[in-house]
Amino acid sequence: MADLALSITAGDHASYLKYALSLATQSPPKPTNYRVGAVLLDVATNEILSTGYTLELPGNTHAEQCCFEKLASKHSIDAGQLSDILPVEVALYTTMEPCSFRLSGNLPCVDRILNIGGKIKTVYVGVQEPEKFVSDNSGKAKLEKAGVKFVHVGGLEERILEVATAGHEKSNA
């Protein structure tokens, strides 16, 4: 799938989201979380800076968190210092709306995005977070209030939710 990433042309949001979805499939299916994939992109050069998926790193780690922590580790810095090394305009592709609250007490992904100091200008999302674990996710509203564009990329919703909820008990509704 890395080959796919190399051939994605600038502005092909659906293909970047498909790449994020391919990452989500690497996350172990569990009934207690969604399987999500994330891609961090330098908009000016169309270079993928980092990728991540749910539970890629130890702990109860979300896709965006893994993406940021891997990039920070690559540069031997703390994730809180990413704004120092990131290019001027970065885009984040994530299969699901970034969380605004973590039941685990971990820092929500929206706060991680905002802590990068305005470098992430746009977040491209495949689906909004279902209300299974946290109702009323305010991720979209919080990002937009901070001046980050929130763009829904349509067409993959059914597949994203299928991947995201693998391992969940299916309701008979």
Question: Hey, which residues are catalytic here?
Answer: 64
- Our measurement of the distance from residue 35's CA atom to the centroid of its chain's CA atoms, rounded to an integer in Å, reads 10
Judged by DSSP in three states, 141 sits in helix
User: Over the range 25-55, which residues count as b (16 or more CB within 10 Å of their CB) and which as e?
Assistant: eebeeeeebbbbbbbbbbbeeeebbbbbbbb
* DSSP code, position 84: G
The angle at the Cα of 161, spanning 170 to 47, to the nearest 5 degrees, equals 150
